Amino acid sequence: MSIVIGCLYVVEVLVCLMLALVVMLQKPKEGGLGGAIGGGMSEAVFGADAGNVLIRTTAILGAVFLLNTLVLARLTSTVHSKSLMANESEAAPVAETVPELPAPPMP
């Protein structure tokens, strides 16, 4: 099980890095970092329809990131689900009960 969790962590890091890169490559209205990194390189690589390709890639990577995070959360929560008190053999001390006093007579 730990091998699967380790592989999912690697996938998580790779998807996170790719998602960050794709988001930075998108060209906002002001030009932003997409123009600073590649100039018009994204349009040269992906064609004139580069915006739609990058938006679709962002959505797919976001979905993969979300699903991978949920699977990792579920797997790691079941791996470490042992109780911290499972090794304790001593029972907790029982408090002694105090007998109730009779109610005083009503006048």
Span 39-65, pLDDT tens digits: 555 555 655 565 688 889 999 999 999
Q: What is the mean pLDDT of the chain?
A: 78
Domain ranges of the chain: 2-28+37-79
Return the structure tokens found at 56: 């679709």
| Residue 89 pLDDT > 80 | no
Q: How far apart are CA 96 and CA 90, in angstroms?
A: 18
Q: How far apart are CA 76 and CA 44, in angstroms?
A: 43
Q: How far apart are CA 42 and CA 32, in angstroms?
A: 13
pTM value > 0.75:
no
Return the structure tokens found at 15: 């998807």
| Residue 70 pLDDT > 90 | yes
Residue 33 — pLDDT band, cuts 50, 70, 90?
low
Nearest to 65 by CA among 24, 21, 26, 16: 16
